Structure 1
Amino acid sequence: MSLPEKAPEVSSNRKKKWEMPDTYVILFAVLLAAVIATYIVPSGSFERETLDGVERVVPNTYASVEGEPAGFMDIFLALQEGMVQSGGLIFLVLFAGGAFEVIERSGAIKGGILRAVDKTKGKEFWLIAIVSILFALGGAVGAVANSVIPFVAIGVIIARALKLDAIVAVSITFGATFAGFNVGFLNPYTVGIAQSIADLPLFSGMALRIIAFVVIVGVTILYTWRYAKRILNDPSRSLIGVLDEKDASQDELHAPFTARHKWILSFVAVALAFFIFATIQYKWTINHMAAFFIIIGIVSGIIAGMNYNKIALTFLDGCQKLVYGALIIGVARAILIVMENANILDTAVHALSVPLEGLSPVMAALGMFVANGVMNFLIPSGSGQAMIAMPILSPLADMIGVTRQVAVQAYQFGDGFTNSIFPTSGPLMASLAVAGVPWIKWAKWMLPLLLIWVVIAVIMLTVGVLISWGPV
């Protein structure tokens, strides 16, 4: 009698162990689906023409062509070829991670943030605003994204000192980071990769993105302050309860901010400004940026007083931390290789263009935005999503009267916004865990802000379409 009684428990336990598939598992499943599609989807191709050095699809030229379905070995050959073809982008991500690891390990970032805290004591709004702006800038340039997780603990300390709750702690760190990440005007992992695939000058169109950055971050700060002020006036209005001041550790709020730290941050700021100049003046590319990050890492390490071994090992540690995200680019590229080899990628573009042909360019651009938001639920990787979406969105944009710059931003908004609320976002769930905030409570707080972001995105994309937002 005991065995039948225990059997349901075993079955129940097995059910409880189910977990969301990893991004790599999802991408491999998509790869298999693409292989199956090569046996079902008709092969076809558009004619293309080169205008101003950019190859573009010629509308209304889709025609059937011969195609060869993918075989078993083609699956794994595509993975290898995907890594090879994406080598420049992969090493950009790795080298950027190495450089930012050297900067972070020097203590300059934490020291700068805590110095801002010291300077704004007793001025709650300015403290929230300054910390949020610092993290937003980090997200916009790619310096802080997944790496924001350990900084959430600093946000908790700040919120506790201000007698606020952990939602505010997450908002001024993780939330602000992804408010900046939403636009990513100098982010090599998202806008840089997307523009490279779309054959756009690196970090072109920055002026409109900076305007959007200011608006989105400004709204985020005001939304956070409105909630914080409500708690300051009445602690019972907190969604999760005010942090206990007895747990405060004032020692953690004091970190040195030395002359070396100031020199490091100043150097990084000047270096990134020079890179913007170089992309415009000298037409620097993704490869130049990857090489430039090596320089930034080495010089930052020297200023920090690290010896040559310390610089090398720290740089490699940073690379290692981003291997997971970097190799996603190659796996995503493998899916497209399978589709390209079987001549079904243009068929997919043609199929998508048909329902969009009857729409205005503005509505088509908004459709791209929504589609990328949905895609991010399954592929919560900015670089991986760029590799899958942009080869489809670029020719699609050519056909429906939308500039490729608008298509890049539609992808960026779709990816960026949903990172702040989808439970499939690893950085979000890790940040909430650090702060002890239930996802349901965060979603309730975040949803109105997300809707405001969406309105801003709709306005920006509409303006982009109306002005034929181009490479400048």
Structure 2
Amino acid sequence: RFGNRPSLLIVGGLLVFSFGSSTIGMAEEYLPFVPMLLALCVALGYDSMTAVGILCIGYGTGYGVAIMNPFTLIIAQNISGIEETSGMGYRLVLWAVFLAIGLHHVLRYANKVKKDPSKSLVADLEPDATHKNPEQIPLTGVHIVVLAAVGLALAGLIWGLKTMDWYLVEMGALFVGLALILGLVSRLGVDRTAREFCSGAAELTTTALLIGFARTIQVVLDDGRIIDTIIHGIAGPLQSVGAHAAAVGMFAVQSVFNLFVPSGSGQAYITMPLMAPLSDLVGVSRQVAVLAYQFGDGFTNILVPTNAVLIGILTMAKVPYERWLRFILPFMIKVWIVGALALVVAVMIGYE
């Protein structure tokens, strides 16, 4: 479907992932899409970095300028004592701006790789040759059943997350069940289904270990009561600067803090009880303080090595973290500059 206009995969994928994160707070739900998106990108002449860029920049822009994310925006606004989802107009404009920056960044890189594969940041990490030269296999009834089952599973996942408070255990059970059912539907037989399942699980061992390690860092900092000391220390200087500089400073503080607490809701609960009253003292609205929190939390989610979702995606795609930094840092510089300007404008227009 994307053969004649492969860029539609990038535009459509980034838009969907960004919207999902911005509205219903999707994050871990993107992990099952990694193999699928990786195969599509490589088959269309792109590389694995393009696939990771679609997912992560969509995830980052969605959280960075959340429209109504219940796990970040709503929590921060409740803590700050302002109306839920208020200020949506300005955030919608900013979401479009940052989404455009992300699209330009990924499309520019992807087109460069398509024209000259040697320009790929992961050129020496060869993907499976079957992805490079896919066979033209006719769509059969079994394929249709498999696709329908995957679609139903994803719909069930969204329903469970939003209405039944599902999390990792329920998500894992859903996809384990789906894998077993698809193996049988595809007529692999019990033995081969079991072998393929074990092979896939083995490939995810490194991912699971790295996610656990990233979470360990957060637990040590939290249980060691190091977090409170850090946030008070870096927020103190903001009281002695002007309103515009204070807004940008809040952005910087939240960005640094996300390294230690990559959980959006956790960061809101820790920082906003301090940042909300601090905004009153320095002459900026609490809505601006919430926006600075969103920028700092959301955008750096795709930069810090303590974020389990980022590490999970990179590991599944076999993209080394240092290669990812080479890809994402230019985007982050643009985001930091535009984000700082957006906060200055928010102060100037009296954003409430």
TM-score, with length taken from structure 2 = 0.73
Structure-1 residue corresponding to 2:179: none
Q: How does 1:42-441 map to 2 (within 5 A)?
A: 118=1, 120-241=2-123, 244=127, 246-248=129-131, 256=147, 297=163, 317-318=170-171, 352=235, 355-441=237-323
CA shift in 2, pair 1:333/1:183, >3 Å: farther
Structure 2: distance between partners of 1:333 and 1:433 = 27
Does the 8 Å contact 2:25/2:70 carry over to 1?
Answer: no
> What amino acid maps onto 1:447 in structure 2?
L
Give CA deviations for 1:89-140 in whole Å, capped at 9, x if unaligned.
xxxxxxxxxxxxxxxxxxxxxxxxxxxxx3x332022221011111111111
- What is the total number of aligned residue pairs between the two structures? 296
Structure 2: distance between partners of 1:370 and 1:295 = 32
How far residue 296 of structure 1 moved from its aligned partner, in angstroms, is: 5.8
How far residue 211 of structure 1 moved from its aligned partner, in angstroms, is: 1.0
Q: How does 1:30-49 map to 2 (within 5 A)?
A: none
Identify unmatched segments of 5+ residues in structure 2.
175-211
TM-score, with length taken from structure 1 = 0.56
> What amino acid maps onto 1:191 in structure 2?
L
Structure 2: distance between partners of 1:387 and 1:137 = 24
Does the 8 Å contact 2:73/2:294 carry over to 1?
Answer: yes
Does the 8 Å contact 1:373/1:418 carry over to 2?
Answer: yes
Give CA deviations for 1:161-189 in whole Å, capped at 9, x if unaligned.
11211110101112212221111111111
3-state DSSP of counterpart to 1:256: helix
Structure 2: distance between partners of 1:371 and 1:314 = 29
How far residue 456 of structure 1 moved from its aligned partner, in angstroms, is: 1.7
Structure 2: distance between partners of 1:245 and 1:384 = 39
Identity level (%):
30
Does the 8 Å contact 1:163/1:243 carry over to 2?
Answer: no
Does the 8 Å contact 2:46/2:114 carry over to 1?
Answer: yes
Structure 1: distance between partners of 2:321 and 2:224 = 34
> What amino acid maps onto 2:343 in structure 1?
L
> What amino acid maps onto 1:179 in structure 2?
T
- More deviation, 460-469/389-398: 460-469
Give CA deviations for 1:413-456 in whole Å, capped at 9, x if unaligned.
11112111111221111111111111111101110000111112
> What amino acid maps onto 1:216 in structure 2?
F
Structure 1: distance between partners of 2:244 and 2:148 = 48
CA shift in 2, pair 1:191/1:256, >3 Å: same
